[in-house]
Each structure stands twice: as structure tokens, then as C-alpha cells.
Amino acid sequence: MKKSTKKSVDIVPIKPGKDAGFYSKTVKDHFFHPKNFMEKEKGYKADGMGMVGSPACGDVMKVWIKVDKKTDRIKDLKWKTFGCASAIAATSMMSVMVTEKKGMKLEDAMKLKPQDIVSRLSGLPTRKIHCSVLGDKALRGAINDYYRRSGQPEKIQIETGRVIDYVLKITDQDIEHAVLDGADTLAKVQQKTKVGTGDPTCIPEVEQLIRFYKEKYFGA
């Protein structure tokens, strides 16, 4: 199947491959049978929409939410992506997590981390952890968009830290957290954050930050 030439973001078809055995049963279920995937964008009345990534670098995530105004809970979430099986599985799981049990409170959804999603998936192969970082960023964008549309600008939360990769919106704080989590090389930091895959011009600064945080926390 060829990628769509339309401006909307389409899902990449998933086929069994040699890596399939490395994934948990939960991961396989979510990328072979993704939950809450946006089938028909036209006519869907979202309360907020968020998008992160760029078609030029191959990874795009788009998320729509509907909010229960009385309870500030997410009552529905839809998504589309260009991305690998792990990105699809992670976003599918995220969509379940924020809509189950009458929906997650917006303030709690803002705090959702890739590690939370990976844990619910029963893990991902190390080289695929970085694929789980797009969904939560797009979700926060959708929540901020909802706050804008609903006249609640005081609740908008800007991504903390200084933006390093302006395409994927990776901050210096994201890199710091990756180093603290054991990523001591550029390759390992990219596995966790994808920094530099959206904007390769930032890589020298990323390498400098890695050295800084390694010396700061580990004296190396």
C-alpha cells in the first residue's frame, strides 16, 4: 500500500516481520489491531487537536480529543500517524489509558510519560523505546489546544525546558532525563528521545549537552 498523498496523516500498514517475536503479546495486539484509530477525520468534532513531528523526517503523530466539560475528563481520543509498529502500538495503548474508567482527568493526562505507556505494553525492545515518545507530546498539544478553544489560557502548559529539536519539540530537559536514565551516548539518547532525527542541525548541541549532564551527574 502506498502512502497517501493527502495532507492528512495516514497510518502505515503493519505486516508480520522478523522482529515480531521480540514484542509482547500486548504490543502485537495494539499494532495489529490499533485501538481508537481515526478512520474518518471529516465530521469528527474534536475539542482539541495536537500534532508533533514532520513528514520530511518520516514520523508524524496527530491526536484529537473530546472532553467532558463538567468533569474535565477525556471522553474520546482518536489518532493517526506515519510511524513504525512500536509508535502505533504505543499510541494505541495511550488512547486506551486516557479514555478508560470514565476518562482520565486533563491534569493527569498532561503528566503522562512514555515510560507509563511502555509499562502498560509490557515493555518494548530497547531499540524501539524511542518510538513511544510522540503520542504523549501530541496529547499535550491537544489538551493545550482545548484550553485555547475553551477560553482557559491560564491552564496552558508550555513544554518545559529549552527546545533543542524544533521539529520534534525535544527539550534540553528531555535530554537530561535520558542521560539520567542511562543514555550516555548520542545513539542511546536518540533511542529514547529521537532528538536530531527531526532536525539534524541540533546534533552538535545535543552532544554537548550529553557531555555536560554526564559530568554533572556522574563525573564522567
CA angle centred on 12, ends 1 and 4, rounded to 5°: 60
Q: Which residues are catalytic?
A: 57, 131
Give me 157's grid cell.
502548559
> Among candidates 12, 22, 31, which has minimal Cα distance to 92?
31
**Strand-strand pairing, 73-82 and 59-68:** antiparallel
- First-to-last alpha carbon distance for the chain, in angstroms, is 48
